[in-house]
Structure formats: C-alpha cells, structure tokens
Structure 1
C-alpha cells in the first residue's frame, strides 16, 4: 500500500510565492511536481501544503504552528520546512521586528514543536537582498542589510547543526547572481529566482515520492 506523506512549508511571503505571477513560487512548483509524479503511478504520494503568510515573523509562527501541525498530520509521516528571518531581521524606527536572541528562541521552539510530528525537519536560509536596498530605508519604512541576513543565517545553521537537521542553503544559491534573481523590490525572488529555489529543493522532495 502506498504511503501518503504531508509536507508543510511554514514561512512568509517568499514561501507563499509573492510576485511570481507565472509559477506561483517555489513551493507551488514543487507541489505540482509531486502531483505529476503521483499521477504517473510512481512511488508514494506526497501532498505539499503552502503555509506561507506575507509579512509574518517567527512571532506569528509561534501562535499558529501547533494548530497547523495538528490539522495537517499524516499517519504515514510529515515533512516540516521552516523558512523565516527576512521579516524578523527588518528594522523599523531603529528596532528589529524580532531581535536575534528572540529569533533563535522562536526557531528552537518551532523545531521542538515540529519534532512532535516529524523526524524530517528542514531549516531554510534567508535570501540575500539586492545591493540597492542594502542598509536603505525603503517605502515601507523597513531597513534590511546583508550583514543581518548573514547573522540570522548563522543562527539557523547553528540550530540545524545542533539538532542534526538539514539546512537548505538558498543564500549561497542566490548570492552570485542575486541582482538578476531578485524582483524590483530587492527582497523577493522573481520567476527565475523562484525556479532556482525549486531546483535546489527538488532532490529533497524526490526522496519521498
């Protein structure tokens, strides 16, 4: 009998696929791929849930994660992807939305919650931002810097290493060509960027189908 595994993608607008009017973002690309493989009659079924919410920080994740995990819990197993930081590190009026220490605690708490439902947990790096907005206050009043992106990514990588989790390094996949993989706002990927993300994560998805 075939297994049905659920893949839960927690994150912000980059998980949701903001600004990608062609493919719907990297998670939706993976979702379609998994569905196509199932309809071919090959292997097990993997159902992916895009749980990205635009503008969300790890503070929002703390409020909804237990409910989302309980509502989508496959008896055959779950995969949990955690993709946060781009909003947490943003500063407004001189203050970060979620400071590094609180961010670390929230991610550690998210991992503990996920472990109650899954042995397969993935932490996802924050993308680099465009040079044109690095350290610049944009129209939303927020300021982001690549220095802070690196700092928060270190936190994610350290937690992944400590808990023997897989760290998906989108940052490195983007860094060299970030100016052509990011959209006009300098934060979200464009269609090509989302395609690179899906391509990077595809080998993980293929293990479960």
Structure 2
C-alpha cells in the first residue's frame, strides 16, 4: 500500500521563489521532481506545499504554523522545512526586526508545534548576501550584514543539533560563488542559484519517494 506523505515548506520570499521567472524557485523544482518520481511508479507519493510568504519573519510563522499544519496533515506522515532568518536579522530604522534571542525562541516554538505533526523536521540555512548590499540600507529601508547571517545560522545549527533535526546548509554552497548565484538585488537567488538549492535538497526528497 503506497503512502501519501506531505512536505510543507515554511519560509519567506526565497522559499516562495521570488525573482525566478524560469523555474519558480527551489521548492517548485522539488515539487515537479516528486511528481515525476510518482508518475514513474517509484515508491510513495510525496506532495509538496510551498508555504513561503515574501517578507515573513519567525513572528509571522508562529501566527500561522498551527493552522497550516492542521490543514495539511497527512495520516501517512509529514515533513516540515523551516527556512527563516533573512528578514528577522534585518535592521530597519535602527532596530533589528527579530533579535537573536527572540529568533532562537521563535524557531524552538515552531519546532515544538511541528513536532505534533511530524518527526521529520529540517532547518534551512540563511544565504549569504552580495557584497554590494552587505551593510547597505536598501530601497526597502532594511540593512543586512553577512556577520549577522553567520550568527543566525549558528543559532539554527545549534538548535538542529540540540533537537536532532536535519540542517540544510545552502550558505556554504553559495559562499564562494554568491555573486553569480544571487540576483541583481543581492539577496534573492537567480535561476542558477535556485537550481543549485534544488540539487542540494533532492537527496533529502529522495528519502521519501
């Protein structure tokens, strides 16, 4: 008897796939991959939901995660991906949107909520920013630094280790070639960057199809 497993991707505009008019972002590439695997008659059916919202922080996540999980709960099992931090760490009008301690607590609260529906939880690293926007106030009024990315990624790594969760390290994959993997805004990946993210995540998806 084949199982139907749900994969739920929570995150911001990078989860949503903003700036990728070709593939629709890394999650949408994975959606097509899982569907193709199912049509080939391999294993269980894995249905992926892209729950990314542009501009969202962990504060927004906590408001909706119980309802989203309740609405998309497969009796055969769920996989939950949490991809946050790029908006949390931003500074606007001299104030950090979600400070590190609050970020840590919010991620832990989200994990606690996800645990009620899934034992398969993955934390996703924050991507590095292009040097042209590192420490620069951009048109949205937000200022981000790569130093903060390191600090917030360390929080995610520590929580993943502490709770025995998966950790998807897109940061390291992007670091050396970030200037050619990021779009013109220096924050979001371009088609090439999203394609690389999907390639890194496919082995994880393979475990469930």
State the TM-score, normalizing by the size of structure 2. 1.00
**Which residue is equivalent to 2:185?**
185
Q: Distance in 2 between matches of 1:115 and 1:62?
A: 14
Residues 72-91 of structure 1: matches in 2 within 5 Å? Answer: 72-91=72-91
Q: Distance in 2 between matches of 1:108 and 1:21?
A: 33
**Which residue is equivalent to 2:194?**
194
CA apart distance, 1:40 = 1.0
CA apart distance, 1:74 = 0.2
**Which residue is equivalent to 1:12?**
12
Q: Distance in 2 between matches of 1:40 and 1:205?
A: 15
Question: Which portions of structure 1, spanning 4 or more consecutive aligned residues, are displaced by more than 2 angstroms?
Answer: none
**Which residue is equivalent to 2:54?**
54
Secondary structure of the equivalent of 1:149?
helix
Q: Deviations over 1:92-147 (max 9, x none)?
A: 01111101110000000001011110010000000000001100001111000000
Residues 46-195 of structure 1: matches in 2 within 5 Å? Answer: 46-195=46-195
State the TM-score, normalizing by the size of structure 1. 1.00
Secondary structure of the equivalent of 1:81?
strand
Q: Distance in 1 between matches of 2:62 and 2:80?
A: 14
Secondary structure of the equivalent of 2:46?
strand
Q: Distance in 2 between matches of 1:116 and 1:90?
A: 30
Aligned-pair Cα RMSD in Å:
0.4
Secondary structure of the equivalent of 1:8?
strand
Q: Distance in 1 between matches of 2:142 and 2:96?
A: 9
Task: State how many pairs are aligned.
Answer: 209
Q: Residue 28 in 1 paired to residue 28 in 2?
A: yes
Mind listing any 5+ residue stretches in structure 1 that lack a counterpart?
none
Q: Distance in 2 between matches of 1:173 and 1:110?
A: 26
Secondary structure of the equivalent of 1:50?
strand
